[in-house]
Amino acid sequence: MSEEKREDLYVALGARRYRVERPFGDLPGGCGIVSNAAVDLRGHIFVLLRRDSQRDPATPAVIELAPDGSRVAAWGEEIADAHMILVAEDAGEERIYVVDRDAHEVMIFTLSGERVGGLGERHRPGRPFSHPTDVAVMPDGRIVVSDGYGNARVHVFLPTGELVESFGEIGTAPGSFITPHAVCAIAEDRIVVADRENHRLQRFALDGRLLDVWQGFFRPQDIWSDGAGHVYVTDSVPSLALLTEAGRRLGRCRPVLNGAHGITGDRRSGVLYLSEGNPSRLTRLTPVA
């Protein structure tokens, strides 16, 4: 479709209206498919590209974009299976956490791409991860990892990296999982887990106590909290849902074609970013009056 004939699209989510822009950002071709994204305090977007390390050449897995979508940097060739990405503060400094799913590791980088740490033993399944899916950092620095494709568990680590809690098992009963595909920190000591193949979200305390179950989703993929009491959930309907931290639904819309594997946002501007794998692209939702 030519630029002159492009249709303006808008969606409503709760009390807000958004302009839909897709594709967004200068992303390189031939480096894998868009899997997830994260935003730092400057509003820079770190887009995660997933490739098949057994077949594809080693290309940058992390593409840094400026708020206007221009490309700033590219790095992360050592990441084997880029699944999810998070930007979070660590001792007052922002760090990037990358879930290298099939390498069974959570890798930790500076904003410039320097490797500074990690969780799990690389290429050693079961120590403790078996194909982890996502990572969240609590306000007190504790790190939570959803260990989704093999273990169907959730692990809690101290900021120093010491494992202090693990809970969950494969199943359909409340508190169990088929695939804990994403985890999100809400409040001081609460997390929400996307239990994808059970078509639900589950809210837990960090000691593993199940607090409640949120229904009404089809294969929920990812969760993001804006830190102001709102939780955003993308699923395979495809839809984007807005809920309170207690699970009350505030709105729902359809901003993507075939479902978004990831959801993140800029807490200052309210802009949302959806990571689509088919077709591979980043979609931007900008609040409008």
DSSP string, the chain: --GGGPPPEEEEETTEEEEEE-S-S-PPTTS-EEEEEEE-TT--EEEEEE--TTTS----SEEEE-TTS-EEEEE-TT-SSEEEEEEEEETTEEEEEEEEGGGTEEEEE-TT--EEEEES-TT-TTSS-SS--EEEE-TTS-EEEEETTTT-EEEEE-TTS-EEEEE--BSSSTT-BS-EEEEEEETTTEEEEEEGGGTEEEEEETTS-EEEEE---SS--EEEE-SSSEEEEEETTTEEEEEETT--EEEEE--SSS-EEEEEE-TTT--EEEEEETTEEEEEEEEE-
User: How confident is the model at residue 41, as a pLDDT?
Assistant: 97
**pLDDT averaged over 10-residue windows placed end to end, the chain, 289 residues:** 72 97 95 97 98 93 98 98 95 94 98 98 97 97 96 97 98 98 93 98 97 98 96 98 97 96 97 97 96
Which of 83, 136, 87, 86 is CA-nearest to residue 105? 83
> The whole model's pTM is what?
0.96
Contacts for 224-230 with beta carbons within 8 Å, 24 or more apart? 224/184, 224/263, 224/264, 224/265, 224/272, 225/184, 225/185, 225/186, 226/265, 226/267, 226/270, 227/267, 228/267, 230/14
What is the dihedral sign for C-alpha 120, 122, 126, 130? positive
User: How confident is the model at residue 2, as a pLDDT?
Assistant: 47
CB 144 within 8 A of CB 154: yes
Residue positions counted in the chain: 289
Looking at residue 84, its amino acid is M
Class of domain 7-288: mainly beta
Q: Which tokens is 194 given?
A: 């996307």
User: How confident is the model at residue 5, as a pLDDT?
Assistant: 67
Distance, in Å, from the CA atom of 66 to the CA atom of 77, rounded to the nearest integer, reads 21
User: How confident is the model at residue 1, as a pLDDT?
Assistant: 41
User: How confident is the model at residue 11, as a pLDDT?
Assistant: 98
| In the chain, where the domains are located | 7-288
User: How confident is the model at residue 4, as a pLDDT?
Assistant: 61
